[in-house]
Amino acid sequence: MSHRIVFLDRASLIAEMRAPSFAHDWIDHDQTPPEEVIPRIRDADIVIVNKVKLPAGILAQAPSVKMIAVSATGTDIVDLAYCRAQGIVVSNIRGYAMHTVPEHAFMMMLALRRNLLGWREDVRAGLWQQTDQFCLFTRPVNDLHGSTLGLVGYGSLGHGMQRLAEAFGMRVLVAEHKNAATIREGRTPFDDVLRDADVISLHTPLTAATRHMIGTREFGLVKPSAILINTARGNLVDEAALVEALKSQRIAGAGFDVLSVEPPREGNPLLDLDLPNFILTPHVAWSSREAMQTLADQLVDNIEAFVAGTPRNVVT
């Protein structure tokens, strides 16, 4: 029996993809616009997807689909309830970004804590050249060593962040779920983490419970000297509240690799921020060449396991 595999957005992955070990017909599409999703998956057994949305209305018109292999960790693009009801296996990728995302987050943390963009701006403006001494004291510099990192999300990425933080000499607090009734051992109440942390870093999936988990109320809890890092999902943070917090100096800075809508074709308030204490990168924290190859290898592993009757990395 040959399996028909359709990859809806192959251009999202720069890596060598090995051929599965079973008989198959593999079709790649660099991108897939919404109107092309149904025609392309209608006869597929296995669908590979990164960011193309697969709601119930689309999946209902592709009854041959037995597996959705998500080439990412987040699965909010797939209607999981529908897949459970129809017996469609959904597998995701795990642990592949345990080095690349923490490194990106720390790049932002270092740049913001040490005011890298501000110093660059001042040198370009000629301020160093005009000073009466050897250095310039126009902006504060703060070490990571001795500061407190608050982690919201403690999977492989959270653990990777902790390893780097401890190497820098940081104290690490792991946040309990927001509004949790009980606090697990080793966790700190969510609001306490916001109050105590010098750096808050988000590494949690986007769900109904986590959407806009950081908003005006939460910015009211943090230290004015704190910075916020988001390499997870844009909608974890109320972007309008973030803009206000930065402009009013309610927080000292923020580094974001994600937006609420990607790509931001209709604009976004964060795109308009021209501040030395805000860094925005285009959802690339995950995308080191090493990480993408690990992802590609695991993706084929997931598909082979499903065909062998032993699904792995199943999202329930």
- Asked if 233 is an active-site residue, the reply is yes
Q: Which residues contact 129 (CB under 8 A, 6 or more apart)?
A: none
Q: Give me the amino acid identity at 246.
A: L
Q: Among the options 233, 244, 265, 304, which is catalytic?
A: 233
Q: Could you tell me if 2 and 23 are in contact, meaning their C-beta atoms sit under 8 angstroms apart?
A: yes
Q: Among the options 163, 166, 217, 262, which is catalytic?
A: 262
Q: Which residues contact 85 (CB under 8 A, 6 or more apart)?
A: none
Residue 111's Cβ-count burial label (10 Å; 0-12, 13-18, 19+) is buried
Q: Which of 250, 247, 207, 213 is nearest to 230 (CA)?
A: 213
CA angle 263–59–302, rounded 5-degree value: 80
Q: Could you tell me if 77 and 53 are in contact, meaning their C-beta atoms sit under 8 angstroms apart?
A: yes
- Asked if 42 is an active-site residue, the reply is no
Q: Among the options 283, 289, 304, 312, which is catalytic?
A: 283
Q: What distance in Å separates the CA atoms of residue 120 and residue 60, rounded to the nearest whole number?
A: 54
Strands, sheet with 199-202, edge to edge from the N-terminal-most edge strand: 171-174, 148-152, 199-202, 227-230, 253-256, 278-280
Question: 178 is written with which tokens?
Answer: 């927001």
Q: What distance in Å separates the CA atoms of residue 250 and residue 278, rounded to the nearest whole number?
A: 13
Token pair 């296996």 in the structure block, residue: 89
Q: Which of 234, 280, 313, 290 is nearest to 108 (CA)?
A: 280
Residues, the chain, total? Answer: 316
- Asked if 84 is an active-site residue, the reply is no
Residues annotated catalytic, as ranges: 233, 262, 283
